[in-house]
A and B are shown apart, each in its own frame.
Chain A
Amino acid sequence: MIDLYILLALVVTGYVVGQFLEKRHYRSIYEREAELVAIPTTSSKRPIGPIPDQVRAQLVEGACVISVDYFKRFVAGLRQIFGGNVRSYETLVDRSRREAILRLKESCANADQIINLRIETSSITKGKRGQVGAIEIHAYATALYFYSQ
């Protein structure tokens, strides 16, 4: 029985705290995305529009590690029985991806363009039993700084 109480306590704590932190994180993401939206960012290898003669190109990167809460892990565990869309992990991946891109952009806030954006995902825990999963998202790109004559 004690296992059930511990499980329920972890699930409830995971839900309450996890939802609070997720909402707070999304608020931060929306604000920072609005601030940095003006920097053209593409996955293309070529810049957008005409480019001046003098350009400085620089490798930039942003990474973040986000862990799943116990509630999400539990729901995903149940989902494994029936299959289907693992909705509880969607926000985890979405937040991580956007946070990594935001960190990348914040590292070159004065860049004129960011091109060649790539995103890599890796699991930290590799699904080991008894560990709460966490993922690392690594975004890297080329920041271009334009200089006029």
Chain B
Amino acid sequence: MKYTPRLPERNSNVSHEHPLREFLVLVTGTVALFAVIFIGMGLLVDIAVRYIDPELEATLFSSFESNDVLVLNEQEQALQLLMDQLSSCMEIGYPVDIRIEASPHANAYAMPGGVVVVHSALLEQIKTENGLAFVLAHELAHYQNRDHLRGMGRSVVLLATSVVLTGAGSDVSSLLTPVFGAEIAQHSQSRESGADASALGALQCHYGHVGGATEFFALIAETGAAADWYLAHYFASHPQALQRIDDVNQTAISEGYQKGELQDLPSALRL
């Protein structure tokens, strides 16, 4: 046998397809697969929320009490009174409690289980009762629409889908979580806009006008709390402050609401 040294003409052990082609096919497939699962599960969350009545919600989330609570009975009682007056305009359907939490960021949020948490900085910085009432009515509107459960449900679905299919902390979940996080944020923005419109109605019902409705957003815009970097608003769950001022004003005009005299924040509500 004669040995003839020769190299193979073609390397059959490696694929000769362009690596970016496989990358694009796989990324498109993965995002499409997750989109179908995520959107489907999101719709199931919306259906499930209808079956969670206030009592069940209170039981499920009874451990969601805020830890860092200031015991300021006088302020909390005054806030509770204002919120009860507003909720009588909104047909919430279940009792909502209020808590004040020490925080340097002016904000308020609705917790599952029917607790509105107001940050102490909000009471320090807001000037009028009308402005504060709008914030409280906005949070009440979230309960009215069960937004807090929808938002939480979607976040849980995203986390669970991502972890089950790709493993926690994997590269693929780092790709998918922000992509669908943006979808969650967009969904959340529409809920925030809806809550603004409901809060405006509550203000009109309680005070007979909607003056002071935009005070909180103006405060956010002044302090620069609203992110203004490019694309940030797609990922922010709250539409940017100036945009929300415009939207609230537009809603007020289209609903025929008028602006009237503002009431100073009562001393009982001041910290």
Contacts and interface: CB of A to CB of B under 8 A. Distances in A.
Contact of A15 (B3, B19, B178, B235): B19
Contacts of A90: 13-15
Interface residues of B, number: 33
Main secondary structure of the interface of B (DSSP, over half): helix
A77 B171 contact: yes
A78 B34 CA distance: 12
Interface in B48-64: none
Interface string B185-229: 000000000000000000000000000000000000000000000
A75 B14 contact: no
Contacts of B15: 85, 87, 90
A82 B27 CA distance: 11
B26 A79 contact: yes
A3 B176 CA distance: 11
Which among A1, A15, A78, A93 has the highest number of chain B CB atoms within 10 Å? A78
A77 B172 contact: yes
A91 B7 CA distance: 18
A85 B235 CA distance: 36
Contact of B7 (A33, A75, A93): A33
A97 B116 CA distance: 64
A75 B170 CA distance: 12
B268 interface: no
Contacts of A130: 169
A74 B166 CA distance: 12
Contacts of B169: 129-130
A74 B171 contact: yes
Contacts of B171: 7, 73-74, 77
A81 B166 contact: yes
Nearest to A74: B171
Interface in A1-42: 1, 3-4, 6-7, 15, 19, 33-34, 37-40
A52 interface: no
Interface string B165-183: 1100111101101110100
Interface in B5-55: 5-7, 11, 13-15, 17, 19-20, 22-23, 26-27, 29-30, 33
A88 B6 contact: no
B29 A49 contact: no
A75 B19 CA distance: 9
Given A4-B175, A71-B19, A94-B14, A49 B3 contact: yes
A74 to B, nearest CB: 5
B253 interface: no
A55 interface: no
B33 to A, nearest CB: 7
Contacts of A71: 19, 23
Contacts of A79: 26
B71 interface: no
Interface of A: 1, 3-4, 6-7, 15, 19, 33-34, 37-40, 48-49, 71-75, 77-79, 81-82, 85, 87-88, 90-91, 93-94, 129-130
Given A4-B175, A129-B169, 10 more contacts: A1-B178, A3-B174, A7-B175, A39-B5, A48-B1, A74-B171, A78-B23, A87-B22, A91-B14, A94-B14
6 contacts: A4-B178, A7-B174, A19-B19, A81-B166, A87-B19, A88-B22
